[in-house]
């Protein structure tokens, strides 16, 4: 039941936004996201990490109601360690994202916050769905609000860019839908439930087809190398809150879905295509880092660095090892927190200087020391310095890659060096040096309220990653077992 | 049968009311009559009567007739808005629409090929006049003439096919023909020619490629209200009749028609969508989109399994609701102008929240975005196709839907355009607003609970 509340509450709050007077929307939206965060905290408190007898090892708070009987579709949701982790990410970032818009004049605020909260509801839905069809519906529902957010509040060229974004992702989704329908027709009990899907035994040809039908959708969302071309434009054009939603949470939908819907269902195909995916991922890391090196726009720089980071996460997943899975989960949280911080840094600079071009900036540190310190911590986290949240995840991911093949690890490891180069250079050129232009006000109260929790999270997960281990360990073990069982049974 | 009699009487009553200048009474009478017909139709549920081997009023017929009555009711409500300042010949138009509905009813409940032909002709002849109902307008006349010529050709093909079928089997009765098909290993060439001629006749009627070329011109020239009528009621009747015949009679000989229909369906989906992309005129765009939808609707006919009937029914229902909303918004924006460029939607959002919502929901539903009705329509079609292993057809349909996004999103993007002066608030009467509301609510409800409609036509 509590899982349903996690989906329903932001949705109802979203509807409320449409009737609240325009001047009150910001506080009401913030209050709603804070309440949602409190509900999430309560769920963490109730969650039993040692449970392992339930569905999918430690799935809890399960709700299964019939929905479309004739098609075997049910309203089937629940939380295990991995889903809960994603829900935590979503619901703790959302208040920060809403707060990041505090000082900004927004046209039609009711509609804006309606779309944000609606998106939150859909994102939670994606992470807790245990029915493939329900999952697909939420997957698509999450796309619509972000499309409108970028279309209505975006910058230059938004119509063309949003359109490309929409077509790209919808193309992937429709392929996935075909895959879902096909799998459904193979289930023994004619159901879309995840248990039925996991029980389907496919021959290797079918697995290969299904793998690509699902994987392309996720590769577009994440995005992986040949499918990435929508991402930098969309991130740059989107209003800042939209970019945060996209990069901080939405792309995790793809990574999470690989764990939940691809690896245990078509393990043979995964095994067969591991190298292909690793080439895509590691190639993406190098390519994106290389391009990031020559970016002059902060937002674009962060967009490209994001491609490099998620490439590494995907690579870790496909090593099919416990270190790889744990590393990916930790890094997903770390990347979510850091990228929201980075884009807010860009936003703060943009608001004060009306530009995010690195060459036009410099010497901000002398005017705004607090801001400069915060940016430094986030930069360190982003280049994975020890004691920041970026370190442990990146370390585990590279470790798992090394166990799989040291060549891949060697090339993927370049991301650390490249990352340090372009991030530190961006920091140096914007924050240090002489300031030739007018003043730069230091952080306001609302901005501090965004940045301090982010810094807190960076340090907390950097020092105590055990929290994520504990939460997800049972689920990860179960997933690996399920994959091993499938492989042993089939071949 | 009661429904058929009731509707025919209603048509005549409206004509008389017009003749005696009782203009005020017409709309209430029409709405009351249609509601009564809807009820009597619903009462025939599960009775499944056959009338002298000519008509068979089973659940298949009941569900499609219910859908058509509903669509006509919505269009009549729009008509009260559209004709609010006009006072000539309204009765004729209302009456003709009701007669078209009578034709549609016969088309979905025939048990004999003669009745099929009679139904199609009742529907078509009324429609030829409706297409030309704006008598002083050149393009309306052109549309009427084009539609008449093409319709006459289609009827010719169909009739020729029926004749050949009669020549071979000695009967018009569907069950006799079905027995003949099942009982004979080798079918005479004459019979196969008959099947193909009937196939061509139907393809003309529903506007499938390569028999589609009349659609854009006719849709554009016809008064918008009647275009809405053609796109919904006529298409529903056409595809339901098409499937009915092939399901009962020709399912055993799919070798004869399968490949041809496969190519027709694929070409219809692709050409319809690609051509719609290139249109700058809203009505032409909707016309091409209706061609594309005819293509999607042909896929369940191709699959011809136990899911096909419900897939077709659900799809036509979702499509009709969304199309009526789309045409309602178009009527509201363009008022009486004949020019309907797509950028007319620009700046709609600011002062017209309900119309914009209706437009967004309608376009998203037509594009097939979940959880709206149009998405489940496509979904049912895909499931039906995959059940019969038509995987390539599904991929073509997916490609078509992707292209569809382009032109369905255009009006939506234009509506939120902030660079032009916003459109003034458009005043609609109560009926108009009701249609908009109903479109929004129904698209959402049957989208979220597709079970409500999914199993109606039975297997």
Query: In the predicted model, what is the mean pLDDT of residues A368-397?
Result: 89
Q: What is the largest CA-CA distance in chain B?
A: 69
Distances from the Cα of A30 to the Cα of A93, A99, A205, B155, B442, angstroms? 11, 7, 50, 64, 33
Task: Provide the token pair at B243.
Answer: 């499937």
Contacts of B446 in chain A (CB under 8 A): none
Task: Provide the token pair at A440.
Answer: 């730069």
| Phi, psi values for residue A73, rounded to 5° | -100, 130
Task: Provide the token pair at A316.
Answer: 């870790």
Contacts of A71 in chain B (CB under 8 A): 383, 450, 454
Give just the sign of the alpha carbon dihedral A99, A100, A106, A112. negative
Contacts of B413 in chain A (CB under 8 A): 151, 159, 163
What's the confidence (pLDDT) of residue A277? 92
Nearest to B451 among A68, A159, A166 (CB): A68
Contacts 24+ apart (CB under 8 A), A421-424: A421/A293, A422/A289, A422/A292, A422/A293, A422/A295, A422/A301, A422/A305, A423/A305, A423/A379, A423/A382, A423/A383, A424/A379, A424/A383
CA–CA gap between residue A267 and residue A244 (Å, rounded): 33
How close does chain A come to B403, measured CA to CA in Å?
Answer: 9
Distances from the Cα of B77 to the Cα of B81, B115, B432, angstroms? 7, 30, 7
Q: Is B455 on the interface with A (CB under 8 A)?
A: yes
Nearest of A91, A81, A114, A90 to residue A35 by alpha carbon? A91
B372: left (phi over 0), alpha (psi -120 to 50) or beta: beta
- A150, A155, A159, A217: which to substitute to probe chain B, counting the most B Cβ within 10 Å? A159
Q: Is A290 on the interface with B (CB under 8 A)?
A: no
What's the confidence (pLDDT) of residue A438? 67
Nearest of A12, A19, A60 to residue A36 by alpha carbon? A12
CA–CA gap between residue B408 and residue A427 (Å, rounded): 44
| Phi, psi values for residue A75, rounded to 5° | -85, 95
Helix axes B214-221, B138-169, angle to 10 degrees: 130
Task: Read off the pLDDT of residues A186-228 as tens digits, 9 standing for 90 and up.
Answer: 888 888 999 888 888 888 888 899 999 999 999 999 888 888 8
Task: Provide the token pair at B436.
Answer: 């908009």
Contacts of B450 in chain A (CB under 8 A): 68, 71
Alpha carbons within 13 angstroms on the beta-carbon side of residue B213 total: 3
Q: Is B420 on the interface with A (CB under 8 A)?
A: no
- With CA atoms as reference, the chain B residue closest to A148 would be B413
Contacts of A178 in chain B (CB under 8 A): 382, 386, 391, 394-395, 398
- Dihedral Cα B246, B250, B254, B260, nearest 10 deg: -50
Confidence check: pLDDT of A491 > 70 = no
DSSP 8-state symbol, A104? S
Q: What is the mean pLDDT of chain A?
A: 88
- With CA atoms as reference, the chain A residue closest to B376 would be A137
How close does chain B come to A141, measured CA to CA in Å?
Answer: 7
How close does chain B come to A317, measured CA to CA in Å?
Answer: 29
CA–CA gap between residue A232 and residue A421 (Å, rounded): 20
Complex confidence, ipTM: 0.84
- With CA atoms as reference, the chain A residue closest to B456 would be A70
What's the confidence (pLDDT) of residue A51? 77
Give just the sign of the alpha carbon dihedral B154, B156, B159, B163. negative
Nearest to A167 among B394, B402, B416 (CB): B402
| Residues A254/A218, Cβ–Cβ less than 8 Å | yes
CA–CA gap between residue A81 and residue A60 (Å, rounded): 9
DSSP 8-state symbol, A406? H
Task: Provide the token pair at A193.
Answer: 């439930």
| Phi, psi values for residue A255, rounded to 5° | -65, -45
**A vs B: CB pairs below 8 A:** 59
CA–CA gap between residue A215 and residue A172 (Å, rounded): 8
Contacts of B415 in chain A (CB under 8 A): none
Residue B1 CB contacts under 8 Å (≥ 6 apart), including other chains: B49, B51, B55, B57
CB contact under 8 A, B451 and A69: yes
Q: Which residue has the higher pLDDT, A244 or A57?
A: A244
Task: Read off the pLDDT of residues A21-74 as tens digits, 9 standing for 90 and up.
Answer: 888 888 999 999 999 999 999 999 988 888 777 777 788 888 888 888 877 888
CA–CA gap between residue A305 and residue A192 (Å, rounded): 37
What's the confidence (pLDDT) of residue A429? 86
Percent of chain A with pLDDT over 90: 40
What's the confidence (pLDDT) of residue A131? 92
CB contact under 8 A, B449 and A68: yes
| A142-160 as b/e: b if 16+ CB within 10 A | bbbbbbbbbbbbbeeebbe
Q: Is B394 on the interface with A (CB under 8 A)?
A: yes
Cα A277 off chain centre by: 19
Helix axes B174-183, B138-169, angle to 10 degrees: 50
Task: Read off the pLDDT of residues A327-362 as tens digits, 9 standing for 90 and up.
Answer: 999 999 999 999 999 999 998 888 888 888 888 887
Nearest of A356, A6, A64, A374 to residue A193 by alpha carbon? A64
What's the confidence (pLDDT) of residue B157? 92
Nearest to A140 among B370, B449, B450 (CB): B370
- With CA atoms as reference, the chain A residue closest to B386 would be A182
Query: In the predicted model, what is the mean pLDDT of residues A461-476?
Result: 88
What's the confidence (pLDDT) of residue B88? 66
Q: Is B379 on the interface with A (CB under 8 A)?
A: yes
| Residues B320/B71, Cβ–Cβ less than 8 Å | yes
Residue A443 CB contacts under 8 Å (≥ 6 apart), including other chains: A348, A368, A370, A371, A374, A451
Task: Provide the token pair at B190.
Answer: 């004459």
Q: What is the pLDDT along chain B (459 residues), one digit of tens a residue?
A: 889 999 999 999 998 888 887 778 888 899 999 999 999 999 988 888 888 888 999 899 999 999 999 999 999 999 888 877 665 678 888 899 999 999 999 999 999 999 999 999 999 999 999 888 877 788 888 889 989 998 898 899 999 999 999 999 989 999 999 999 888 888 889 999 999 999 999 998 888 888 888 888 888 888 888 899 999 999 999 999 999 999 998 888 888 889 999 999 999 999 999 999 988 888 889 999 999 999 999 999 999 888 899 999 999 999 999 999 999 999 888 876 667 788 888 888 888 888 999 999 999 999 988 889 999 999 999 989 988 888 899 989 989 998 998 899 888 888 888 778 888 888 878 889 999 999 999 999 998 888 888 777 764
Contacts of A163 in chain B (CB under 8 A): 406, 409, 413
CB contact under 8 A, B405 and A140: no
Task: Read off the pLDDT of residues A416-435 as tens digits, 9 standing for 90 and up.
Answer: 889 899 999 889 888 887 76
Nearest of B7, B4, B16 to residue B92 by alpha carbon? B16
Q: What is chain A's length?
A: 491
- With CA atoms as reference, the chain B residue closest to A168 would be B402
- A177, A216, A217: which to substitute to probe chain B, counting the most B Cβ within 10 Å? A177
DSSP letters for B367-415: HT-TTSHHHHHHHHHHHHHHHTT-HHHHHHHHHHHHHHHHHHHHHHHHH
Contacts of B391 in chain A (CB under 8 A): 178, 182
What's the confidence (pLDDT) of residue A13? 92
Q: Is A71 on the interface with B (CB under 8 A)?
A: yes
């Amino acid at each position: 039941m509590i899982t349903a509340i996690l989906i329903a509450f932001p949705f109802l709050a979203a509807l409320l936004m449409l009737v609240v007077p325009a001047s009150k929307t910001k506080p009401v939206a913030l209050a709603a996201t804070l309440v949602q965060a409190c509900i999430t905290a309560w769920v963490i408190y109730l969650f039993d990490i040692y449970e392992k007898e339930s569905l999918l090892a430690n799935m809890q708070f399960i709700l299964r109601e019939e929905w479309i009987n004739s098609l075997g579709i049910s309203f089937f949701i629940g939380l295990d360690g991995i889903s809960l982790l994603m829900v935590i990410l979503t619901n703790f970032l959302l208040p920060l994202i809403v707060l990041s818009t505090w000082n900004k004049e927004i046209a039609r605020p009711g509609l804006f916050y309606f779309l944000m909260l609606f998106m939150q509801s859909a994102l939670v839905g994606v992470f807790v769905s245990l029915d493939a069809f329900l999952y697909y519906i939420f997957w698509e529902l999450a796309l619509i609000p972000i499309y409108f957010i970028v279309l209505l509040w975006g910058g230059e060229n938004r119509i063309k860019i949003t359109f490309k974004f929409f077509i790209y992702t919808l193309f992937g989704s429709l392929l996935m839908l075909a895959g879902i329908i096909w799998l459904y027709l193979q289930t023994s009990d004619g159901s879309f439930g995840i248990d039925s899907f996991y029980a389907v035994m496919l021959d290797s040809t079918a697995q290969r087809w299904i793998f690509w039908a699902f994987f392309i959708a996720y590769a577009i969302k994440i995005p992986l190398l040949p499918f990435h071309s929508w991402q930098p434009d969309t991130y740059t054009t989107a209003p800042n809150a939209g970019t945060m939603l996209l990069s901080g949470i939405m792309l995790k939908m793809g990574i999470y879905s690989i764990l939940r819907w691809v690896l245990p269902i078509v393990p043979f195909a995964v095994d067969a295509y591991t190298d292909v995916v690793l080439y895509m991922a590691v190639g993406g890391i190098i390519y994106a880092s290389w391009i990031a090196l020559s970016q002059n726009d902060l937002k674009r720089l962060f967009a490209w660095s994001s491609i490099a980071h998620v490439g590494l996460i995907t690579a870790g997943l496909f090593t099919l090892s416990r270190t790889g899975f744990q590393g990916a989960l930790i890094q997903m949280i770390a990347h979510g927190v850091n990228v929201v911080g980075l884009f807010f840094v860009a936003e703060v600079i943009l608001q004060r200087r009306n530009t995010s071009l690195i060459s036009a900036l410099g010497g901000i540190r002398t005017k705004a020391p607090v801001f400069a310190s915060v940016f430094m911590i986030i930069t360190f986290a982003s280049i994975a310095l020890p004691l920041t949240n970026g370190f442990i995840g990146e370390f585990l991911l590279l470790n798992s890659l090394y166990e799989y093949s040291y060549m891949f690890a060697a090339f993927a490891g370049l991301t650390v060096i490249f990352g340090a180069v372009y991030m530190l250079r961006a920091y140096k050129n914007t924050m240090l040096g002489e300031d030739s232009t007018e003043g730069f006000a230091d952080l306001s109260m609302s901005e501090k309220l965004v940045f301090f929790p982010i810094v807190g999270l960076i340090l907390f997960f950097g020092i105590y990653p055990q929290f994520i281990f504990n939460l997800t360990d049972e689920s990860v073990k179960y997933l690996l077992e399920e994959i091993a069982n499938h492989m042993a049974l089939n071949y | 049968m009661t429904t058929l009699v009731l509707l025919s009487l209603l048509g005549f009553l409206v004509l008389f009311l017009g003749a005696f200048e009782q203009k005020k009474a017409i709309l209430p009478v029409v709405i009351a009559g249609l509601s009564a017909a809807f009820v009597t139709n619903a009462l025939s549920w599960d009775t499944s009567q056959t009338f002298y081997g000519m008509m068979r009023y089973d659940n298949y017929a009941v569900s499609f007739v219910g859908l058509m009555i509903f669509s006509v009711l919505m269009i009549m409500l729009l008509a009260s808005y559209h004709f609010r300042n006009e006072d000539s010949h309204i009765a004729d138009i209302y009456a003709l629409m009701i007669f078209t509905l009578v034709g549609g009813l016969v088309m979905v409940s025939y048990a004999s090929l003669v009745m099929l032909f009679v139904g199609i002709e009742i529907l078509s002849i009324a429609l030829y006049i409706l297409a030309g109902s704006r008598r002083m307008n050149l393009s309306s006349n052109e549309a009427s003439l084009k539609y008449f010529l093409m319709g006459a050709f289609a009827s010719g093909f169909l009739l020729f096919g029926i004749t050949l079928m009669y020549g071979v089997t000695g009967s018009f009765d569907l069950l006799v023909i079905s027995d003949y098909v099942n009982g004979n290993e080798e079918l005479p060439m004459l019979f196969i020619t008959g099947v193909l001629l009937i196939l061509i006749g139907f393809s003309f009627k529903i506007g499938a490629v390569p028999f589609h070329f009349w659609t854009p011109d006719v849709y554009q020239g016809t008064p918008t209200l009647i275009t809405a009528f053609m796109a919904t009621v006529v298409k529903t009747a056409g595809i339901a009749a098409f499937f009915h015949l092939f399901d009962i009679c020709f399912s055993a000989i799919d070798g004869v028609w399968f490949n041809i229909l496969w190519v027709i369906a694929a070409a219809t989906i692709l050409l319809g969508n690609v051509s719609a992309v290139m249109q700058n005129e809203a009505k032409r765009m909707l016309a091409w989109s209706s061609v594309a939808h005819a293509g999607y609707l042909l896929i369940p006919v191709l699959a011809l399994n136990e899911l096909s009937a419900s897939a077709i029914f659900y799809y036509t229902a979702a499509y009709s609701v969304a199309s009526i909303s789309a045409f309602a918004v178009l009527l509201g924006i363009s008022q009486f102008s004949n020019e309907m460029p797509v950028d007319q939607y620009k700046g709609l959002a600011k002062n017209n929240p309900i119309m914009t919502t209706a437009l967004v929901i309608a376009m998203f539903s037509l594009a097939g975005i979940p959880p709206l009705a149009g998405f489940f329509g496509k979904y049912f079609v895909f499931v039906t196709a995959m059940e019969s292993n038509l995987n390539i057809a599904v991929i073509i349909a997916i490609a078509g839907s992707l292209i569809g996004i382009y032109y369905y999103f255009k009006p939506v993007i234009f509506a939120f355009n902030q660079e032009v002066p916003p459109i003034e608030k458009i005043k609609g009467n109560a009926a108009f607003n009701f249609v908009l509301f109903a479109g929004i609510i129904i698209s959402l409800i049957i989208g979220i609970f597709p079970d409500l409609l999914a199993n109606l036509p039975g297997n």
